[in-house]
Amino acid sequence: MTPRQIGLLPLAAALVLLPMAYLAPEAAVLLMLLLALPALGVAAWELATPGLVALVATVAISPEYHLPLEPSLVIALQKAGVIALTGLIVVQRGFSGQFNGPALSVLAATALTFTLGRLHPLIGVGDLVRSLIGTLAPFVMIWARTDPRWHDRGVLAVALLPLVCVVFGLLLQVAGPHNLVMREYTGALRLQGASIPAFMAFLGEIGTYAAFAEYARTGRPLFLVLSAFNVLSVVATGTRVPMLTAVLFCAIVLFFGRGERFGFTRRTALFALGMVGLGLFVVVVLPGLLERTFATSVGADGINLSGRDLIWPVFIEAIRQHPLFGQGVGTGRILAPEEIAKLIGTAAVHNEYLRLGVDLGMVGVALLFLGHFLWFRREWPHLNQLERVVVVAFSIAFPLHSITDNTLIAPQAVVLYFWLATWLQRARVRAQAQRPRRSRSSASSGSTSTPGTRSMPRPSFRA
């Protein structure tokens, strides 16, 4: 029997025991789950890369909002699954060869906090380890040498996820327990898909990155349609900064990207289309955004910052107390006073730099920037001009978004870094495949005789 067949035997046994569920339901369910584990393990081993794509895609349906479990537990299980499947891929296929600067930076910053910083009194070693695993989950995928056959499919999956989120949210509304569109206290309608507007916007922004970059690379109309849908999904959420950063990413790629299928004529047509879209935005959307930002202000200085003006000072003061090395990963989750968290509806600071400053200190923030720079610098020789512009566009747009949201600990961060790692790994695989051909071509041209010279006979080593 093959290993796959052996692994499926317990699953068959679980199905045979199904009638037992009538006599002892709880024991039967537990026994069937235990018998199914080996089959799940075999499936994970055999289908590690597509399994990783599928697990990343579950972010689009926001299971933490719909399963009868603690949301933090669901997110933790998702991230643990990502780490486990990445480990399987590394065991099967080896490391990707990419320098995982972000993960190494987080580990180094955590070690500095643990040795030189001062841990928050409510953060134990166990809490720190759990938070560290959750923080590392988006970055571990950089290590995986994923199956090249799944690179294009993985990018397509990321580009489709905002659509999946909207469709699943519609199905949930039909079923009853969820609304596709929410109405906030100002009366404004905001698309939230299967989750909440902020998460829908982040997913739409990531989908815009993936779809527009892939359209520039391939010229396939499908990705242009997905780009337009994803940008519209971000606009429909009513989130302000993700609108800016999604469009900024596209503008950088449009103005500076060059490719075989992304020439002057195509870029000019896209620019004209973008101007039409900008005009519609100014007429239809901008008045509502200005109303929400200024006229319906509940914040300081006449600007509605959705509670950020209340919670940011708390984190800024905590950073002043421990500026260099922070107070330990996970401190940002418990730092907000209860009264402020109730008032604004969340304990999240909505600023990734403030959260990281509290958790890891300013040294940790600097190390994370350095880690990304070293990662991109290591992959730079493998990239063509268009791919380099995409990396630069990401390096400008995403840090801007991180000023107003907790981007790296959100579930959507797994989707973002899956796309970026796949984008760079695909370029690396292409460059490595071209290298032998270039070597053979150089050797062939070097062995060709030039006019006026006589080629020397090659020595023979045959007996």
Beta bridge partners of residue 189, listed in sequence order: 183
Look at residue 181 and give its three-state secondary structure. Answer: strand
In degrees rounded to 5, what are phi and psi of residue 191?
A: -65, 135
- The Cα–Cα gap between 70 and 77 comes to 11
What are the beta bridge partners of residue 262?
259
Total Cβ atoms within 10 A of residue 320: 9
35-44, Cβ contacts within 8 angstroms, sequence gap of 24 or more = 35/10, 35/11, 36/10, 36/11, 37/10, 38/7, 38/9, 38/10, 38/11, 39/7, 39/8, 39/10, 39/11, 41/7, 42/3, 42/4, 42/6, 42/7, 42/8, 43/7, 44/84, 44/85, 44/88
Mean predicted confidence (pLDDT) in 130-146: 94
pLDDT at 114 over 80: yes
Per-residue confidence (pLDDT) for residue 417, from 0 to 100? 98
In whole angstroms, what is the distance from residue 236 CA to residue 230 CA? Answer: 10
CB of 90 within 8 A of CB of 291?
no
192-212: pLDDT as tens digits: 999 999 999 999 999 999 999
**Looking at per-residue confidence, does 199 or 286 come out higher?**
199
Of the two residues 347 and 448, the one the predictor is more confident about is: 347
Better pLDDT: 463 or 197? 197
Name the more confident of 69 and 55: 55
Pick 340 or 52 by higher pLDDT.
52
Average pLDDT, the chain: 86
**Res 17: pLDDT:** 60
Instruction: Select from 226, 162, 181, 137 the least CA-distant residue to 409.
Output: 137
> Residue ranges per domain, the chain?
1-33
- Residue 247 or residue 123, greater confidence: 247
Q: Which two tokens stand for residue 301?
A: 């200085």
pLDDT band per the 50, 70, 90 thresholds, residue 462: very low
- pLDDT recorded at residue 83: 95
Q: Is the pLDDT of residue 7 over 80?
A: no
For position 285, what pLDDT does the model report?
81
For helices 240-256 and 221-237, give the axis angle rounded to 10 degrees: 150
Q: Do 194 and 187 touch, CB atoms closer than 8 A? A: no
User: Could you write out the DSSP letters of every residue in 408-459?
Assistant: SSSTHHHHHHHHHHHHHHHHHHHHHHHHHHHHHHHHHHHTSPPTT--PPPPP
| Calpha distance 209→226 (Å, rounded) | 10
- Euclidean distance between the first and the last CA atom of the chain, given in angstroms as a whole number: 48
pLDDT tens readout for residues 398-445: 999 999 999 999 999 999 999 999 999 999 999 999 877 666 665 555
- pLDDT at residue 16 in the model: 62
Q: Let me know: does 224 contact 261? Beta carbons within 8 Å.
A: no
* Distance of alpha carbon 71 from alpha carbon 305, whole angstroms: 26
pLDDT at position 450, please? Answer: 44
| Range in 86-95, 295-304, 405-414, 449-458 the model is least confident about | 449-458
pLDDT of residue 20: 59
Mean pLDDT of 348-370: 95
What pLDDT was estimated at residue 460?
39
Alpha helices per DSSP H over 257-330: 264-280, 286-290, 308-321
Give the global pTM.
0.86
Read off the pLDDT of each residue in 292-318 and give the average, rounded to a whole number.
73
Residue 223 has pLDDT above 60, yes or no: yes
Core vs surface per residue 392-424: b (16+ CB within 10 A) or e? bbbeebbeebbebbbbbbbbbbbbbbbbbbbbb
Res. 238: pLDDT tops 70:
yes
Number of neighbouring beta carbons within 10 Å of residue 277? 15
Q: Distance between CA atoms of 90 and 143, rounded to whole angstroms?
A: 7
Average pLDDT, integer, range 226-230: 97
